[in-house]
Amino acid sequence: MEAQPRGAWLEESSLAGLTNPVAIQEQLLRLNRAVNDDPALAIGSSKELIESTAKVVLIERGHVVDDRADLPALVKEAQHALGLHPSSVTPGPDGTDAIKKILGGVSSIAIGVAELRNRGYGTGHGPAGARTGLSERHAHLAVNAAVTWCQLMLDTLKDPAAPWRNS
């Protein structure tokens, strides 16, 4: 993998053991190239990273992925599949009010990245005019938000004591 710019990036160990991590790796490489020079591409690719991660998690858990599902539905389904949706957490540390708030927050973060992209600030939809107001800080915000959600999902998928293993 290329040298990574400053900021949060998925740990390589989080991808180890996945049946097919290629889609996630592809998005990470694209983000690595775009984050400092192409905010619109970084925002669009951040949404794609979340989408790819959600699909990989669902496939790894044996779920059928609906290719027509929108990102909020995929985020919710993936979090449920891992016992990480605030409404489905189990007793213990993952069931505390604090963890439930954080889980709700990371869900909102993932959906917020998709909304930013859908409102014309990211690639994936052709704009009618020039994208304005984007800077490197917006790219870093979107990338780091996406990575936070993805890292949680992949770490939980690998964790032998994760909530989904007890259900």
Return the domain boundaries, the chain.
20-123+133-158
Q: What is this structure's pTM?
A: 0.90
The type of residue at 84 is L
One-letter amino acid at 101 equals: K
Torsion of CA 93, 94, 98, 99, to 10 degrees: 140
Q: What is the mean pLDDT of residues 130-141?
A: 85
The phi, psi pair for 143, rounded to 5°, reads -65, -50
The answer on pLDDT for 145 being more than 80 is yes
Residues contacting residue 42 through CB under 8 Å, at least 6 positions apart: 31, 34, 35, 122, 139, 140, 142, 143
Which spans in 18-162 are helix H?
A: 22-34, 39-60, 71-81, 97-116, 136-158
Q: Cα separation of 151 and 157, whole Å?
A: 10
| pLDDT tens string 57-116 | 999 999 999 989 999 999 999 999 999 988 876 777 777 888 889 999 999 999 999 999
Domain 20-123+133-158 fold is Four Helix Bundle (Hemerythrin (Met), subunit A) (1.20.120)
Q: Could you give the CA distance from residue 73 to residue 31 in angstroms, rounded to a whole number?
A: 23
Report whether 12 contacts 1 (CB < 8 A): yes
C-alpha span between 31 and 42 (Å, rounded): 5
pLDDT score, position 7:
39
